[in-house]
């Protein structure tokens, strides 16, 4: 097929059918065998990128059929996902054996019309295009940034129930444009050149979308606590690009551990500094409405201040704070934990006693060789090394500022925030960070120390982002 060579002229006007970053005038050309001037550059790009079929390169003002659109949406999927699916051996349709249709159906991009039919020659509607695009993004594991807010269209009643969420999503992404007068025209059709333009511009916008939009320092709302959205900051990434989120403020003031009759020595009175068995770890990682505490219960009888008791509080990961999809997005990770010298026989790594310092610049001097073990956690407190490398050395917020609700309960504030590492010379003293970056320690069951949890978010679970990632407009993650 010879490349089109007509001079392109882009006219960004109003009343677009589809748009990303402007409005296109869909003035019909006089000769239907030639594309309109505004479409030439997009058609040429589609030819170059091999995301258009040869049979669509004529009669450009004809409306496109369901089969024709399925052929180019599957080409777009293959380019964006770098995956060419095999043609399924079983054909669910009685009226189509088109390989692109069968591939798209296997991927969940297209569906039938009932009674085993696909209706390949039916003209595709705008709401059907929205649904196919939405499903293509999902199948391609793409997570584009949402550009607009939801709207209520004046012809909202014409949108089929099965298409409503897709129409809104494609509108918010800037892929599906309105037609004027606050209408979306869900039952309208699209011409071949409009469809090719849509495919071409989508490819150019999204061919690099799988590269994480996140960067260190971005802010994200994820989950809630005390009915307030939790504001996190990205402080690092794992090897697969999953972000490490650190609460931007103290969610509450809670003791690290409760005293227990099963402990020995000072730990009986002051709790233990072993993260593995601490009540704060149990609470942070529980999704139970009533946490099963076992032999240590952080209740009123063991703390002098009733505000510190958290035995009756639902687990941090309970449904009152995180939806099921939000919960599933929090990864289980292996964490290194420093041990006190009384329990180094439990260590699974290291061969030295950790050298402690209150100067954050010297906190990790022999961390890599120190006695430690590992735990598996969804939610955790930062280690000495993590807080040094990812927070203090990067100049991120290292204070124990509290959330608005926590400030009301604790108007005097917190003296610092907990880390998960034990102080070496004691069985009950835990490492913490003061507001002035000074590393210090506090008894596990005493002191007004803030909880600033951390989580790794599974990037593959995310579907869409809203917001810009700034402190004034944090990202909001959507799973719908």
- Backbone φ and ψ for 67, nearest 5 degrees, come out as -70, -45
DSSP class of 57? S
Local confidence band at 213 (pLDDT 50, 70, 90 cut-offs) = low
Q: CA nearest 72: which of 98, 92, 53, 89?
A: 53
What's the rounded mean pLDDT across residues 41-61? 93
> In 3-state terms, what secondary structure has residue 478?
strand
Strand residue runs (E) in 11-154:
none
The per-residue DSSP string of 145-179 comes to: BP-S-----TTGGGS-GGGHHHHHHHHHTTSBPP-
CA distance 287 to 269: 28
pLDDT at residue number 3: 36
- Most confidently modeled of 1-5, 27-31, 124-128? 124-128
Which position has the token pair 């002191």? 447
Planar angle of CA 358, 259, 411, nearest 5 degrees:
60
DSSP class of 198? H
CA distance 33 to 387: 64
End-to-end, the C-alpha distance of the chain in Å comes to 41
Percent share of the chain, pLDDT over 90: 59
CA distance 185 to 163: 12
CA distance 457 to 220: 11
The per-residue DSSP string of 427-462 comes to: SSEEEEEETTS-EEEEETTSS--EE--EEEB-GGG-
Mean pLDDT of the chain: 85
Q: Is the pTM of this model over 0.75?
A: no
Local confidence band at 33 (pLDDT 50, 70, 90 cut-offs) = confident
- Domain boundaries defined on the chain: 37-206, 219-475
Planar angle of CA 461, 464, 467, nearest 5 degrees:
125
Contact 200, 42 (CB under 8 A): yes
Residue 25 has pLDDT above 80, yes or no: no
The tens digit of pLDDT for each residue in 400-410 reads 789 999 999 99
Q: Where are the alpha helices (DSSP H) in 140-261?
A: 164-172, 192-206
Cα–Cα distances in angstroms (integers) from residue 208 to residues 118, 202, 273, 413, 458, in the given order: 32, 11, 46, 45, 19
Cα–Cα distances in angstroms (integers) from residue 99 to residues 42, 89, 94, 110, 120, in the given order: 25, 10, 14, 12, 12
The tens digit of pLDDT for each residue in 334-382 reads 999 999 999 999 999 999 988 888 877 788 888 889 999 999 999 999 9
Considering only residues 242 and 465, tell me which one the structure prediction assigns the higher pLDDT. Answer: 242
Considering only residues 389 and 142, tell me which one the structure prediction assigns the higher pLDDT. Answer: 389
Least confident range from 319-333, 422-436, 444-458: namely: 422-436
Least confident range from 150-154, 250-254, 290-294, 429-433: namely: 150-154
Considering only residues 156 and 263, tell me which one the structure prediction assigns the higher pLDDT. Answer: 156
Local confidence band at 104 (pLDDT 50, 70, 90 cut-offs) = very high
Residue 314 burial (C-beta neighbours within 10 Å; 0-12, 13-18, 19+): middle
- Backbone φ and ψ for 175, nearest 5 degrees, come out as -85, -45
Q: At what angle do helices 192-206 and 40-48 cross, to 10 degrees?
A: 60
Planar angle of CA 129, 203, 240, nearest 5 degrees:
110
Contact 341, 353 (CB under 8 A): yes
CA distance 311 to 296: 10
The tens digit of pLDDT for each residue in 361-374 reads 788 888 889 999 99
pLDDT at residue number 131: 94
Report the DSSP pairing between strands 416-422 and 429-434. Answer: antiparallel
Q: Where are the alpha helices (DSSP H) in 181-274?
A: 192-206, 267-270
Report the DSSP pairing between strands 439-443 and 429-434. Answer: antiparallel
Tell me how long the chain is: 480
Type and span of the H or E element at 373: strand 372-377
CA distance 109 to 406: 46
Exposure on the CB side of residue 51, measured as CA atoms within 13 A? 27
Report the DSSP pairing between strands 219-225 and 475-478. Answer: parallel
The tens digit of pLDDT for each residue in 138-188 reads 888 776 766 567 789 999 999 999 999 889 888 887 788 888 888 989 999
């Amino acid at each position: 097929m010879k490349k089109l060579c007509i001079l392109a002229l882009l006219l960004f006007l109003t009343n677009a059918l589809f748009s990303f970053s402007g409005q296109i005038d869909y003035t019909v050309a006089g000769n239907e065998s030639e594309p309109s001037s505004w479409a030439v550059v997009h058609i040429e790009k589609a030819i170059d990128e091999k995301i258009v079929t040869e049979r669509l390169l004529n009669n450009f003002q004809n409306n496109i059929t369901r089969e024709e659109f399925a052929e180019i949406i599957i080409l777009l999927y293959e380019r964006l996902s770098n995956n060419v699916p095999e043609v399924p051996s079983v054909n669910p349709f009685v009226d189509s054996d088109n390989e692109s249709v069968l591939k798209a159906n296997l991927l969940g991009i297209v569906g039938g019309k009932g009674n085993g039919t696909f209706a390949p020659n039916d003209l595709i509607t705008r709401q059907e295009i929205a649904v196919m695009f939405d499903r293509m993004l999902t199948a391609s594991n793409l997570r584009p940034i949402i550009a607009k807010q939801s709207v209520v269209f004046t012809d909202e009643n014409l949108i089929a129930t099965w298409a409503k969420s897709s129409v809104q999503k494609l509108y918010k992404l800037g892929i599906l444009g309105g037609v004027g007068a606050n209408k979306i025209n869900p039952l309208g059709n699209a011409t071949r050149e409009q469809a090719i333009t849509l495919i071409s511009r989508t490819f150019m916008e999204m061919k690099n979308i799988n590269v994480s939009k996140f960067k260190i320092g971005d802010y994200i709302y994820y989950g809630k606590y005390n009915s307030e959205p939790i504001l996190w900051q990205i402080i690092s990434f794992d090897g697969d690009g999953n972000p490490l989120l650190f609460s931007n403020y103290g969610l509450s003031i809670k003791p690290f551990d409760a005293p227990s009759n099963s402990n020995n020595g000072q730990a009986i009175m002051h709790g233990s500094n072993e993260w593995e068995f601490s009540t704060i770890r149990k609470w942070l990682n529980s999704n139970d409405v009533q946490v099963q505490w076992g032999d240590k219960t952080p209740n009123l009888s063991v703390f002098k201040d009733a505000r510190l008791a958290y035995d009756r509080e639902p687990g941090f990961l309970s449904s009152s704070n995180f939806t099921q999809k939000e919960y599933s997005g929090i990864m289980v990770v292996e964490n290194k934990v420093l041990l006190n010298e009384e329990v180094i026989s439990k260590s699974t790594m290291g061969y030295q006693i950790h050298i402690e310092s209150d100067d954050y610049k010297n906190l990790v001097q022999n961390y890599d060789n120190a006695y430690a073990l590992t735990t598996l956690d969804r939610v955790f407190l930062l280690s000495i090394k993590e807080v040094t490398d990812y927070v203090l050395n990067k100049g991120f917020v290292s204070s124990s500022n509290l959330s608005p609700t926590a400030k009301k309960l604790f108007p005097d504030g917190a003296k610092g925030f907990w880390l998960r590492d034990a102080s070496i010379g004691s069985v009950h003293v835990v490492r913490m960070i003061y507001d002035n970056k000074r590393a210090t320690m506090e008894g596990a069951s005493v002191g007004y120390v803030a909880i600033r949890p951390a989580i790794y978010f599974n990037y593959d679970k995310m579907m869409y982002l809203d917001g810009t990632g700034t402190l004034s407009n944090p990202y909001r993650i959507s799973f719908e």
